[in-house]
Amino acid sequence: MTTRREALQIAAAAAAAAAGLGPFARVMAQQKLTQRELLTFDALGNVTLLHVADIHGQLTPVYFREPSVNLGAGEARGRPPHLTGKAFLSRFGIAEGSAAAYALTDQDFAALAREYGRMGGLDRVATVVKHVRGERGADKVLFLDGGDTWQGSLVAHRTRGKAMVDCMAPLKPEAMTGHWEFTYGEARVKELIGDLGFPFLALNVRDTEWDEPVFSPYRMFEKGGVAVAVLGQAFPYQPIANPRWLVPHWSFGIREDDVRATVQKARRDGAQLVVLLSHNGFDVDRKLAARVAGIDVILTGHTHDALPEAVRVGGTLLVASGSSGKFVSRLDLDVRNGGIKEFRYRLIPVFADVITPDAEVADAIAKARAPFAAELARVVGRTETLLFRRGNFNGTLDDLICHALLEERDAEIALSPGFRWGTSVLPDAPITIEDIHNATAITYPQVYRQTMTGERLKTVLEDVADNLFNPDPYYQQGGDMVRCGGLGYAIDISKPMGARISDMTLLRTGEPIDPGKEYVVAGWASVNEGTQGPPIWDLVERYVARHGTVRIAVNAAVKISGI
């Protein structure tokens, strides 16, 4: 007799197969995973693009819960990738409780994590890449890294990115672009690029003295007899979202006219396929695709979106490959007569217990982690509840950081940046030093303590809200909403800039925030040079060690409307 769950899985698999998910759809129905099923692909055409992005320093398999809330503004409202949970499952025909539901949504995450295990691991990613090259032939495969690779873990931070460069080397990427890479500073970025052995592309970065390109704008490759131009687009808001003082001689921007001119130049130089390797974020790239002719494919990054389908915008295909090493995108293209005649796409989930680690990369990872192994494994405390970061407004991992800020710095209000990177910790599990650094490892970690007026606090919230919910994607500078401890508020995302935030409340007293009153505020990751204070990871470690076991209640202090 077929159970209700089995019936749902079979129905969802049929719908997913119609949507082009192929063997992964069969896996969803069967509730079993094999490497063969995950990697089986009906090859097409003469060019294969492989893409990863936003690995954020994660060399080994991780737990990473996808967002529960990911709201779109303006024309993006209700459109992928701004669907979560059951709406996401319904849109893509994915069965509840399936492997795909675990990989792509927050639904029943803790329970499914115990069933399906960790995802990612650069040695497993290497197995996927090497398999595709072996199947198709390296002369047809172009493997591209969308950036945010060198930062986000203790090992990446302590080696100042070198561990990531060394461990990526055996995968032989053909090009990359960047974002958090730049937070190591200009000199270190140049040094690491010299060790890559492949081009770092960024057409939108210029020096501030002569307004000349800092990096190569594009590179031409021949794959399957096709001239493929890969253009690099680094994160355009680097000096705003991250410290300007780390890249004082470089300027950034979307620079749409430069993108258009570079596309045209590549076409004149003989490009039959134009690929934009982008760290703009999905909504920015969707707008860019609609405004710049001649881009065949945009491999998008930065916003950590994982979509099981390529999104078509006019004549451009947008591919979103997720984060933390959880997925590898494979896009097969039939390129003839200067255009794409047909394509076939799969977002390959990297289930760590299913995909065999590549021995060469596993050895490189072990070597990179060895000097820090004891520290990484040291247990600081335990959590009774799931610790996660992603979501537009709250995450229990960020709430833990805010609790630590309030207590350790004797503050009334805590502010923690809405970073999208950071792994998850399952309920009833130890919290290790590695877990703490996976959420805090940056080059400007100092915890500040200062006073802010209620008016200033509102301005901060309004500015961040506009970065996230401005209806024009070109004014969205990335990240999620700043996390708040000790402070509640209401937000109407449909309102214009400066009018979204209301009903600000000091939680410990229940009193409204007084615009003219000063409050003691603790926070971290200030973009201001010279910020003084202990590193955030030390503060969180002390807090967890003192409490021993932490339990983070659901945060109900933000009231959302205008959805």
CA 324, CA 148: separation in Å to the nearest integer? 10
* 168 secondary structure, DSSP code: H
Provide the pairing of β-strand 47-52 with 141-145: parallel
Report d(CA 273, CA 279) in Å as an integer.
19
Distance CA 271, CA 266 (A): 6
The class of domain 378-561 in CATH terms is: alpha beta
- How many degrees, rounded to 5, is the angle at CA 469 between CA 466 and CA 473? 100
Assess whether the region 33-62+118-367 and the region 378-561 belong to the same CATH fold. no
**Per-residue confidence in pLDDT tens, the chain, 563 aa:** 334 344 334 344 444 444 445 555 444 434 578 999 999 999 999 999 999 999 999 999 999 999 999 999 999 999 999 999 999 999 999 999 999 999 999 999 999 999 999 999 999 999 999 999 999 999 999 999 999 999 999 999 999 999 999 999 999 999 999 999 999 999 999 999 999 999 999 999 999 999 999 999 999 999 999 999 999 999 999 999 999 999 999 999 999 999 999 999 999 999 999 999 999 999 999 999 999 999 999 999 999 999 999 999 999 999 999 999 999 999 999 999 889 999 999 999 999 999 999 999 999 999 999 999 999 999 999 999 999 998 899 999 999 999 999 999 999 999 999 999 999 999 999 999 999 999 999 999 999 999 999 999 999 999 999 999 999 999 988 789 999 999 999 999 999 999 999 999 999 999 999 999 999 999 999 999 999 999 999 999 999 999 999 999 989 999 999 88
Residue 287 φ then ψ, to 5°: -65, -45
Cα angle 266-142-359, degrees, rounded to a multiple of 5: 155
Q: Is 53:323 a contact under the CB 8 Å cutoff?
A: yes
Inter-CA distances, 133 with 48, 50, 190, Å? 9, 10, 29
Tell me the C-alpha to C-alpha distance, in Å, between residue 37 and each of 20, 93, 169. 15, 18, 27
Domain locations in the chain as residue ranges: 33-62+118-367, 378-561
Looking at this protein, which amino acid is placed at residue 530?
G
d(C-alpha 460, C-alpha 462), whole Å: 5
Class of the CATH-defined domain 33-62+118-367:
alpha beta
Predicted TM-score of the model (pTM): 0.94
